[in-house]
Every structure is written in structure tokens, then in C-alpha cells.
Structure 1
């Protein structure tokens, strides 16, 4: 069956800020408490969406989440009016206030895990909102993520949106950032690869020593069950614990796949040979050959891959049978990565084009092109059944640019999070956005 892949990018919210809340994310920690530019961040993200849509790639967006998270603040004892809650939190628990204002929902690769209808037992596209329970600032996101997904994919004839897994360490789930689908074509049955960092119920299994492993095997298996995936087309691979300790907090920082191509670093997996063997055997069952594009450590050290976000890129299928690699500008600023990419394109790889974007506001907060998007393969009927107001068009682009120019600040300092006016500005902006996108009541 014919299907097309849509990338749902996160629309950066009006309170985009650098709080440095994500232990294990080197870029996030490096820019903690510096001033951010919410307006520029949103415009950079919109420019990326517009450019890819203009190229004919399926492009849509997920709206930002409401901030600050007053539910979090009130649940831990801050009382009074909204202004009083903010004032008390700023004085008594500024880090928790920063959590309530987290900009992390912009990285929609963590919003959910998605299985297309070609893979599921009931022939529907399945979504499971990620519980993100490894970090306080993200652990509340799944409720609004599920709400947004249900509003966009509301036709239960075509879609099933599952609530997040239980919010316990055993089911720690970070969504599509640790999930890759490989296939012969987007509309045919594929192989779903779940990459996990640790096993909850096996103390003898290898695990990182410095930074936390955010995805468990148990969570990956649970999502596969919820989605009705066939065992012979589902592969579980352990991430290399040593690279987690080098700042590779998600698999999408060290590997990316599309169609039958897997672009990965030599040190990505705990057992590279075993991982590739599993994938080859599973892909053979769907009539596809694995195209493994291995980046050796001698060419690109892990530290350079993390600094440039080489693998936190997008692989997009083109009409000529080749693929474009969407990368941040930082890939041209790290010499080993720039040299590797030049050779990759010149050597006749399936990747024959590099598309660069300036995403510095997102990159400084720890997320590149792949973090910003959730991949959803849809048949023509499914694409028609989803809510059309979030599909990127030239008209929507200009509407959203005008909305950003109207509502967003161009400088946000850490101290501004205590300002009640900021909360009012965000609320007013999102109220208008819900009308612009045709999603009334999204933030109710």
C-alpha cells in the first residue's frame, strides 16, 4: 500500500529557555542559565519546516505545551494565585520552577513511539505517549502529548493513541528517540528497532556508570505489545553503555535510519555484529536488504559526533531513490565531521545530499534536527483523516511567523521565569494558536 512519511516538528514555545535540567545531555548542561531567544528559536524551527515542505517532504507540526506547569507547582505545595505560586517557587525552589518552565516538549522525538498501520496487528497507526519519567521536567509532558496526538489523530478507524506506560523506573520510556523503523517502503511491512539502555530486571546486564540509561528493555517490549507488532519483525538492541557515559543520552544521538538504510557510529551498540545480524535477518523477512552505513571512530570520534550532532539528523527519501541528510550547521564546524560528510556524498553513498539548517537555539539546549521531529508514516487515507490544520503550508508558515512576531520575546533570562507577566503572555499566545491551528480546547 502507498504511504508517505510525515515529520511532525515541535513548534518552539514562547518560554524557550536554557535551564540545563537534563543530566547526561552535554549541550544542555553547557548552556545552563544563559539567556535564550524564544523568537529566534521558533523562527529557526519554522524555517526548517517551511523549507522541507517546499521540497515536497511531508511536514507538519505539534503545538507547544502550556507553560509554566502550574499543576506541578501546586502538586508539591505551592499555593495561592498564579503570581503567588510563581513568587514562592522562585524563592524556595528555583530549580523546580525551571522544571515547570521546561522548553523540552519542543523535541517531539520524545513525545511518543509510532508504529504505522503496515506493522500493527489491527491495521491502524499506533502511538504511545512516552512517560519520560527519568527527568522531573519531562515527566508531566505525556498527558498533553497524548491530548495533542488524540486531537490530531482522532479518527479511531485509522489511529490508536495509547496513554503512557506506568511511570516507574522499570518502564522508563523516551519515545521515538530510541526507536527506528526500517523497511523496503513506507507502506509495506517493516522492522521496528527498539534501542534500550538498561534492563530493569537483570542486575547482571551492562549499564552506564556516569549518566543514566533512559530507556529500558521492558518499556520497549511493552510498547511493541501495545502496538500489536509481529515478533519476527521486532528487534531489541542494547545501546553501548560506554557511549551513554560520553553524552549519548538517546540512540538518535548516535544512529539514524530510514527505509533500509542505517547510518550509525561504530560504537553505537553494545554488540554491533549481533545488532546488524538481527536487523539483516528481520529485514530479509520483509524483502529488504540492510544498507548499513558505518562511521568509524577513527574518522569521527564519539565526542565529535556529540558536539556536532551528526547522527541527530534526518534521513529523508527522495524521488530519485537517494536520500538527503538534514544536519545542523555545527556539522560543518567540527573538522572531522565536515571531512567525513564530504567524502560520504562524494563516494556514491545512498546519501547524496546534505541539507543544512541553523538550529542554534535548539542545539544549545541539547536538541538537533532529529530531536525536533516525530516521524509518522501514513497512507493516503490516514493522511486525509488526520487534522489538516497542523500540516505545514506556505500560508500556515506566514500565519505562524506573524503569530511568533506578535507574542514572543527576543530575550529571556533565567530571572524572567518568576515574572507573572511571562505566564500571562504564554497563555494568551497559546490560546490564539489553538484557534489558528483549528484545535480549540487544546489547552483547556
Structure 2
């Protein structure tokens, strides 16, 4: 009950803050207030508008907002988001470009389960769907998943990826962004031994912590300092009575957001102060740069407690992927079994979350893969976000990734290891 009360307290604080913003905006905008020529009323109305929108966004899943796309035929095509595989903790969705012939490039974009929704990859998807068939892992908010659905840890996550890859078939090219990179590598190795015919043609790992100890960052230092008992005591709560997942243990999205903001609190405070002044002067708009960014940034989701704790313990503390000691459902997953899937790593020189060296470590683990099937790229001047969305991605990284995909789209030999094929 203590953890449920804490969860409900956070939700009450968010809801109250949203109400206070709405109240301030309404009160300061009341026509009678214009009789008082006081700029404080304009500021109060602006503060209320920004506060109401910000706290409201924290409880809402963003829409993909990809209505149309201009394809290589020069025409605008409607885009629909179709669910092709439905599971308790996440779906496999397809961005179906209506009226266009099916594209030869089939890409599975593995989104992080790290506090934000898969819509964080919106710009990445937009950059790919004009000439690719794009599928994305759309993870669910744990607060909306009933306890009866069971647990979900990194082994379950890996098996979800295995199922998604099997569904899409062997002509798939997988791109894993950030957090899921180690588990996507493990899922590929799992298929290499269990179901070689279902392996993807290529695997691109972008800014992921394959070996967190290769280049220490604040994230890895935190993982070393804090014990698992401390994490469970301070970070894990039970979903309150308002949501379908009542009683489920989670790492709450609101608590994660507090951590995100505290890392750059001065920058966020400045951004919101400047936005309040823009609203007061009538210079802001519904879709200006501030709202576009923070509508996504503030939309957070609860993470299953088992997934969060097992990620910290097994990926960061124990380094099971880095040591090639990862186990799924009682079976050791040997990354060296990958012999035919081309693997490419992408890192940002200024990445302070998954620093250079952490992701490229995957290539050394692929001992059964010839050098001709391995590639790596270090993007100068790019931070963590820039390597999958932004100018660096659009101008430099995306063309290299598509070139790598095209180079490995021919006939793919099946691994010789078929003893345990499903």
C-alpha cells in the first residue's frame, strides 16, 4: 500500500498542477481582468497555459502524426499505422503507405523501452518510409497492463524481438536504437542457433550499451554506485487505483521524467521561462519548436519493474552481453553463433549516454562473422539524439545505413548450425 500511495501521490501532484495551470490561465484571461492594465495578468495567463499543457502531456501517449508522405513517384500518399502483431507488453506496427507498391527494403526499427514512447523515433520513421517498408516495436505503458499478464524482464523482451523477427521473415533488416541494442544482438544470436532461416539479413546497432564498461559515463557510474536493493527501494512503486495495471510493480514514468529533467535542470528552466514570455507576447504557436519538442519529451510511460531492474543488473552491473554470458529461458545465447547476418554499429563522438566504444564492442563479440560482414561508423560532433534523429542522421548516417542494407540484400546463406532449428 505504501508504494501504491506514493504512485497515487505523484499522479495527484501532476493532476493538481495541471488544474492550477488551467485555473490560472482561465482566471487571468477573464475579460474583466483587462480593466487592470497590469502585465502580471498576461504573465499569469501565459504561465497557466504553459503549465497546463506541460502537465497534461505527461499522461498522454503522443500520436505518430504521420498523415502523408511524398514518395519517389512525386505523389503524396496517405500513411496508416497498422498493428500486425499484438502482444500484452508491445505491438509490432507497420507504417502502410497507401497506393504505393511494396518496397524491397523491409526494416524493423526496434524502439527503446526507456521511459519514452516509440513515437520518439517519429523523425527516424519519416526519413525511412518514403522508400522502405518500416515496422516498429510499439511498447505499451506498464500502468495499462493488468497484473494477470505476468512479468516482463529482459529475457521476455528478447523473446518478443525473436517473435517479431520470425513474423517478418528472413528478408528483414533490423535497426536497434540505443537501449535495445544489446538485446537485439542477443535475439539475433538466439535465432542463429534456434531458427537460422528466420534470421534478418542485416543488423544495425545505433548508440547502444553493448559493453557499458568500454567507456564509462554518468549512466554507467550510477549503475556501479547504486545497489539493487537501493534501486528497488527508491525507484519501484506499484501502479495506483486509477489505471488497469493497478498493483503492478513499475518504474514510474513521472519518476523517470524527474531524473531526465534534473540532469539538465538549468537548460529546461530557461526553456520554459522563455516559452512563458513568448506566450505572454503572443509570439508562441501550438506547434512551435518548444511545443514540438516538449510534447514528446514530457510524455513518459511506466516501465515494468522486472525489466528495469534486470537491465541494470544484467546489462550494466554484470555485463552479461559484453561477456557473452547472456541466458534466455535457461539457454545460453552465444553471440558467436551469428555467422551470416551483417552487423554495423553507429556511434556519436559526443554521445554522453552511450559513449563511443560501448556499441562498437558488438563487432568483437561476433567471432563467427567474417570481417566482410562487419562495419562501424563514428559520427563526428553528434550527440546521443543526433545519431538517430536530426541533421547528422539525415545527412550522413541514414545514407550509410541504407547503403549497408542494400549491400546485404542479396541471397543470404543459412547458418550451418541447424542442429537446434525450430
Question: Do both proteins adopt the same fold according to a TM-score greater than 0.5, normalized to the shorter chain?
Answer: no
Q: Which has the larger radius of gyration?
A: 2
Tell which has more relative contact order, 1 or 2 (C-alpha 8 A, sep 6+). 1
- TM-score (ref. length: structure 2): 0.29
More helix by share: 2
- TM-score (ref. length: structure 1): 0.28
